[in-house]
């Protein structure tokens, strides 16, 4: 596996790339979609929702948590997960800015 060169890129660009990379996996996207439909944090339900083994789901949850898109809290023997709305808003703002730039480009604004 090669090393990705990040020298010369802003921290914001590197963070965005890491978040998009995490979201780019079908299992992680499914986890985010599922968590977005839940009213609060959930503990064990994800295993019942995806066609993956518990250790595989745990690895995907770990990757999403590493980039800050989800957060977890310990409740007894379980870790309960939910969307980190602050980080999600940051991602949304960056993508909206890119979209805005694209639409301005078409209208020469």
Examine residue 2 and state whether it is found in any structural domain, yes or no.
no
Percent of the chain with pLDDT over 90: 45
Those residues whose C-beta lies under 8 Å from the C-beta of residue 76, and which sit 6 or more positions away, are none
Examine residue 1 and state whether it is found in any structural domain, yes or no.
no
Examine residue 72 and state whether it is found in any structural domain, yes or no.
yes
Examine residue 101 and state whether it is found in any structural domain, yes or no.
yes
Q: Which helix (H) or strand (E) holds 81?
A: strand 78-83
Examine residue 3 and state whether it is found in any structural domain, yes or no.
no
State the CATH number of the domain containing residue 99. 1.10.10.10
Where in the sequence is the domain holding 88, given as residue range(s)? 11-107
Examine residue 95 and state whether it is found in any structural domain, yes or no.
yes
Whole-number Å distance between alpha carbons of 81 and 61: 8
Examine residue 86 and state whether it is found in any structural domain, yes or no.
yes
Least confident range of 13-22, 64-73, 74-83:
74-83
Structural domain tally of the chain? Answer: 1
Global pTM reads 0.80
Q: pLDDT digit string (tens) for 14-51?
A: 888 999 999 999 999 999 999 999 887 887 778 888 89
State the helix-helix crossing angle for 54-66 and 26-36, rounded to 10 degrees: 80
Examine residue 71 and state whether it is found in any structural domain, yes or no.
yes
Nearest Cα to Cα of residue 31 among 62, 77, 75: 62
């Amino acid at each position: 596996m090669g090393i990705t060169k990040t020298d010369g890129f802003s921290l914001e660009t590197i963070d965005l790339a890491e978040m998009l990379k995490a979201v780019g996996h079908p299992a992680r996207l499914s986890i985010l979609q599922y968590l977005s439909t839940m009213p609060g944090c959930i503990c064990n339900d994800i295993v019942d929702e995806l066609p993956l083994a518990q250790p595989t789901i745990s690895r995907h949850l770990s990757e999403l948590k590493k980039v800050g898109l989800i957060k977890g809290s310990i409740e007894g023997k379980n870790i309960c997960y939910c969307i980190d709305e602050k980080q999600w808003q940051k991602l949304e703002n960056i993508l909206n800015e890119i979209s805005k730039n694209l639409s301005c480009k078409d209208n020469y604004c």
